[in-house]
Amino acid sequence: MSQCDYTRRGFLKAMGAGAATLASAGNLTAVEQKAAGKPNIVMILVDDLGYGDLSSYGATDLKTPHIDRLMAGGVRFDNFYANCPVCSPTRASLLSGRYPDMAGVPGVVRTHITNNWGYLAPHAVLLPKLLGPAGYHTAIVGKWHLGLTSPNTPNERGFDHFRGFLGDMMDDYYDHRRHGNNYMRLNGKEIDPEGHATDLFTQWSIDYINDRAKSDRPFFLYLAYNAPHTPIQPPDDWLERVKKRQPGINEKRARLVAFIEHLDDGIGRVIAALKDAGVSDNTLVIFTSDNGGQLNVGANNGSLNGSKGQMYEGGIRVPMCAVWPGKIKPGTHSDRVALTMDLYPTICEAAGAKIAHEIDGRSILSRLLSKSQPVEDRFLFWVRREGGGYGGRAYYAARYGDYKLVQNNPFEPMELYNLKDDPQEQEPLNRKHKMYRTLSMALRNHIIEAGAVPWQKYPVQFDRS
């Protein structure tokens, strides 16, 4: 048997029984008919979008028709949570299927080691490492935020293609610098493109879609926008449009509204590109945010208590939807509680990618497809480690059923809430409540387990003179 025959047999094995049936009929050609009908997958993650900052989630002063159309075109989750109230940890969970501290990223990965609170664990198996063997070409466009240098760069951690920003926030959406550093990359090459970052990421995604539509391999595109993270910097014409439409609107709010509407337009262009390229009917699109909105820059988290950076619901509950024509019923809702890390096994299951290692996330694909899926009996945890006024300490939340244990910063006591009776977290329960002890013990055990995973590569050295 030739080497080509061995390669083809291995490919068919990875594709599963459906591919084998086609192969026996002699029908597979051109990279085995788009990996035997597997869907393309587009994962859209936006940055700091508040739970109330979409018109489909109740906002009355902004217009987000393209995201709203996504929400209506598939299943919308009303109890979906980011794995952390800030950026890097949630991204680590999305790509690893682990709790952030189990992936070595309990806090924000930053430029300077004295203010860096995460190091992506070498043992963490990222999504592209599983999707590649399942037949997928994999790409990230936009914000990475899980490492600035080797070996924690997107290509080294499994992505076939990277065009975007290695760092955290941009100090300016037009010059794309952070602390004076240029973190824009095309794979391993430093680039210095012109234009608003949102427009760049949108166009680069469209370019990728158009290119991959010519191929017979399915693709996975992780589109991670920086917007609407600070600085709130909408293009001038978008800001003027909002002010003209709403005379007297608060300047701070006007800027954020324009910023989100500009982002919505970009997402609409990406979705249109899928249709124009002829691949939309076999593409699973997932949309969500990495944490809640930042209230002091004009964000709206609806009726939820709290803001970005906090463990209250406003810091961690986020909009989410999934669209897959012919598979996911349009206009459906789910009140199932799920976290960002659950998208890892969900995407793998949809792609036919096998998971042979331990993860914390659990697939919600059955729920996306409107199939019965029992409510899972599990404890859920959130962690954030931070410097500055937090002193490098970590703080946590834990949930079981309707009960949530919250420490909103490292210097506050734990509070227990029943979210069913008190969704705005206004009336903490007595510390003697049996769920206080139950959740405290579960959280303690999680902290012990996560303690085995380093979150810094090198010890920090200080001048003690």
**Residue 459 pLDDT grade (very low, low, confident, very high; cuts 50, 70, 90):** low
Strands 161-165 and 137-143: parallel
Side-chain half-sphere exposure of 199, counting CA atoms within 13 A: 11
313 and 213 housed in the same domain: yes
- 265 is written with which tokens? 């337009």
Domain contains 455:
no
Helix (H, G, I), strand (E, B) or coil at 7: helix
The CATH number of whichever domain residue 411 belongs to comes to 3.30.1120
17 and 119 housed in the same domain: no
Burial of 332 (0-12, 13-18, 19+ CB in 10 A): middle
Query: Per residue in 71-107, pLDDT tens?
Result: 999 999 999 999 999 999 999 999 999 999 999 999 9
152 and 5 housed in the same domain: no
307, 342, 368 - which closes a domain = 368
Q: Which residues contact 179 (CB under 8 A, 6 or more apart)?
A: 111, 112, 171
Domain contains 146:
yes
Question: Which has the closest alpha carbon to 267: 185, 201, 342, 349?
Answer: 201
Omega within 30 of 0 (cis) for the link into 374: no
Is 269 in contact with 276 (CB distance < 8 Å)? no
**Residue 37 pLDDT grade (very low, low, confident, very high; cuts 50, 70, 90):** confident
CA pair distance 235, 125, nearest whole angstrom: 38
Where helices occur in 82-159 by DSSP H, the ranges are 87-96, 127-131
Burial of 298 (0-12, 13-18, 19+ CB in 10 A): buried
Which single residue is written with the structure tokens 């076939």?
A: 160
**Residue 317 pLDDT grade (very low, low, confident, very high; cuts 50, 70, 90):** very high
Domain span at residue 416? 380-450
Domain contains 253:
yes
108 and 125 housed in the same domain: yes
**Residue 372 pLDDT grade (very low, low, confident, very high; cuts 50, 70, 90):** confident
Query: Per residue in 419-439, pLDDT tens?
Result: 999 999 999 999 999 999 999
Q: What mean pLDDT is predicted for residues 19-30? A: 40
247 and 277 housed in the same domain: yes
- CA-based torsion, 332, 336, 337, 338: positive or negative: negative
33 and 120 housed in the same domain: no
44 and 31 housed in the same domain: no
- CA-based torsion, 321, 327, 329, 334: positive or negative: negative
326 and 246 housed in the same domain: yes
Catalytic: 87? yes
45 and 26 housed in the same domain: no
CA pair distance 236, 248, nearest whole angstrom: 17
21 and 97 housed in the same domain: no
CA pair distance 272, 276, nearest whole angstrom: 6
The CATH number of whichever domain residue 267 belongs to comes to 3.40.720.10
**Cα-to-chain-centroid distance, residue 109:** 16
Phi-psi region of 77 (alpha: psi -120 to 50; beta: other; left: phi over 0): beta
Q: How many residues does the chain have?
A: 465
Domain contains 43:
yes
Question: Is the pLDDT reported for residue 33 higher than 70?
Answer: no
356 and 386 housed in the same domain: no
Question: Is the pLDDT reported for residue 321 higher than 50?
Answer: yes
Selecting among 66, 84, 137, 145, the annotated active-site residue is 145
φ, ψ (nearest 5 deg) of residue 84? -160, 155
Query: Cα dist. 75→334, 368, 378 in Å?
Result: 7, 6, 23
Please state the domain count of the chain: 3
Percent of the chain predicted with pLDDT > 70: 91
CA pair distance 337, 376, nearest whole angstrom: 9
Question: Which has the closest alpha carbon to 91: 278, 317, 350, 344?
Answer: 344
Domain contains 8:
yes
Query: Per residue in 216-270, pLDDT tens?
Result: 999 999 999 999 999 999 999 999 999 999 999 999 999 999 999 999 999 999 9
Catalytic: 348? no
Selecting among 87, 137, 176, 262, the annotated active-site residue is 87
Question: Is the pLDDT reported for residue 45 higher than 70?
Answer: yes
pLDDT at 19: 43
- 383 is written with which tokens? 């962690």
Is 133 in contact with 193 (CB distance < 8 Å)? no
95 and 237 housed in the same domain: yes
Residue of 123 and 37 predicted with greater confidence: 123
pLDDT at 29: 40
Domain contains 457:
no
Strands of the sheet containing 380-385, edge to edge, are: 380-385, 394-400, 403-406, 415-418
pLDDT at 5: 38
CA pair distance 178, 194, nearest whole angstrom: 16
Domain contains 464:
no
CA pair distance 344, 95, nearest whole angstrom: 6
CA pair distance 297, 365, nearest whole angstrom: 35
